[in-house]
Structures are given as structure tokens and as C-alpha cells.
Chain A
């Protein structure tokens, strides 16, 4: 086999902060750039006894996006707890949507060299953001302003096959989000961040091979760079009869390099279970239709 016999298989998870006035489950202000730890309540700082109450505007914005990409808006969705320990995670679990997200499926239409191309979305889920961990020489500081801000996580199918397609996909998503005015979409401020999963496989083969994950990319140029170099590395590894080990990296925007976070044979156990403090979201067809009717025109997306 030669280099040309291989194709990249890329999946993207785009984390988008919604521009609601208050946080997802806490009434604290949702605002970027304020002095640390000034937009906090007992709910988003994980104080004992505090309880979450869902922000209805966050639900609306998630449904707006779902309608814009002609996805299925779930009539029944719920929230789950994802357990992991981190100083910027106030409860040491994240409230997310594991098996019953608010939006399923969907299509992103992007323009690549003058031609329209469709990309399949797997799901869009509502979840809360974590606080900010800031590295100082002798300690880490934690700012909880960002903890609890509403996110939608837009998960694509692994249907992207080049850096160019990846960039076009993200630009198309960004354009829809801006049209809807559901997010500031600022990659520099971190309100739009991208996790990439990259693997390669021989052309014509269906099975997926081990993937490398890179988290929290915040620019198109870095995304292109990382995809091109990683695809190249993986193909050469296979051509040299080497293995590609499943690993996760985070993107260090200052050093402009991938930093290895871990190599795991098995996935982390997040102990998912339904959040007992929250009740299901049951949406009517009338609610969904009302949102569909009020959607703006999109350059590329077709109206349902």
C-alpha cells in the first residue's frame, strides 16, 4: 500500500457557550471577562445543599440550533451526572446529557471550493461548562465565573475526511450559530472550542482504527496544522508497520503544541447516572414548530 491508499477519518466535537444572561442551572451572571469569582452562587460553586434549576432560554437556544440543522428535537430528554475530579469542577461531576440528548441527528451543509457538501451530525447535547484553572509558577488558581455556563456540544459523525473539510464544517456551524445569535462564537475568548478525533484507514474499508483525540483547539489555523501533521504521522506509522496508540492530547495555545494527557486502553469510567435533582424536559410539537417558524434564513442550510 502507498500513502495515497489511506484516508483520514475525522470526527469533531464543538463546544459552544450559549449567550444566555444567566448560567445553565445557577442564576449567576453569564459574562466573559469579569474579575475572578464575582459571578458565582452556591449552585455553581458546588456548595452543599444547593440545587440546579434549568434555564429555559438555554433549552430554547439548543432547540433553535437543532431546528436549523434539520435534526430531530427530542420530545423527551433528561440530564445525567458525569463523574470526574478536577479543581475547576465544583461538584466533581458535570451535569450533561448522556443517553437522551435534546437534539439527535442533523446535517451541516458547508461550501468547499464552490460546491456544497453535507456532513452528518450525531447529536447536540446541553451541558454545563467548568471553571477556569489558571497556571501560576507555584500554584494553580481557580476562577468559577465560567463554571456552570451553558454549553451545547455538537458531535459530528466521523464523516470528515480532510483538514479542508474540517475547517469548512466548523465555519458552517459558526455561521449558523451567529445567524441564530445563540453564542458569541469567539474562539479567542473560548466560547467556541473544538475537540478533534483523528484516525486513518485504507480507502474503501469501513472499520475504524485507533484514534487520537486533541482537545480544546481554538483556531482554524491550528486545527488545519494539527490535522495535517497527525494524519501524516499516522499514515506513515501504518506504512512502517507501527501501531497507533489511542491517546488524548490537549492543545496548548501558548506553546502551540499538543500536550499528551493520557494513553488509555479502556475508556474512563464516568459513572453516568440520571441526575436525581432534575426532572425530564418534555417538549411539544407546538413548541418545536414555533421555533422552526421563527428561524432566520441561512446561507446554506435548507429550511425544513
Chain B
């Protein structure tokens, strides 16, 4: 089983963009280790020549719609539902400059 160390947890937290306190990182390290050691039992299962289950309903494919446009949601609603907007756009602080 792969090692779940502090660096792994920090890397995961960067990938999924959830900031974690030191205490949280410690707890997550313990929890993830425990969960993964439980999950590792799937290695007992022989899955040679077994296809991955892409869809549980076998006969559903080619679901498409006609190229017809429909109504938009109200822009006012969209903007006022947002934490911050300026004029007709959602606003965020400028992105950090590239290193």
C-alpha cells in the first residue's frame, strides 16, 4: 500500500483546493491511511479480463438533443446570487501573477 505521509496530504489538499490546518493534516493522514488499508482488500479480487463498469444501465447510449437554443436564466438572478459582482460580470480578485 502506498504511504500516506504529510506531503501526500498537502499535495491532495492542493489538488482539490481545500486549505487544511496542521491539525487537520494530521487527522487526515491517520484517517486516509485507515480508509485505504480497508479499501486495499479489493486487491484480493481477481479482475483479469473483467471490463470496468462504465455504465450500470447497459442499453443507454447516444443520448443527444437537437441543436435548439432555450431560455437563459435571468442575469439579475445570476449576479445577485453571486458573492460578488461588478456591472454585468461576476468579480474575483486578480489572479496571482505567474512565478
Contacts and interface: CB of A to CB of B under 8 A. Distances in A.
Q: Per the CB under 8 Å rule, do A and B touch in the complex?
A: yes
Interface of A: 20-22, 27-30, 35-42, 45, 53-59, 78, 83, 85, 87, 133-136, 138-144, 259-262, 269, 271, 274, 278-282
Interface residues of B, number: 33
Given A54-B63, A282-B62, A138 B94 contact: yes
B65 interface: yes
B69 interface: yes
Interface residues of chain B: helix, strand, loop or mixed (majority): loop
Nearest to A249: B98
A142 B75 contact: no
Interface of B: 15, 17, 54-55, 60-73, 75, 78-79, 86-95, 98-99
A276 to B, nearest CB: 8
Given A22-B68, A40-B78, A141 B90 contact: yes
Contacts of A53: 63-65
Contacts, number: 114
A56 B67 contact: yes
A213 to B, nearest CB: 13
6 closest residue pairs by CB, A with B: A141-B89, A57-B67, A27-B70, A56-B64, A22-B69, A29-B69
A55 B98 contact: no
B62 to A, nearest CB: 6
B91 A140 contact: yes
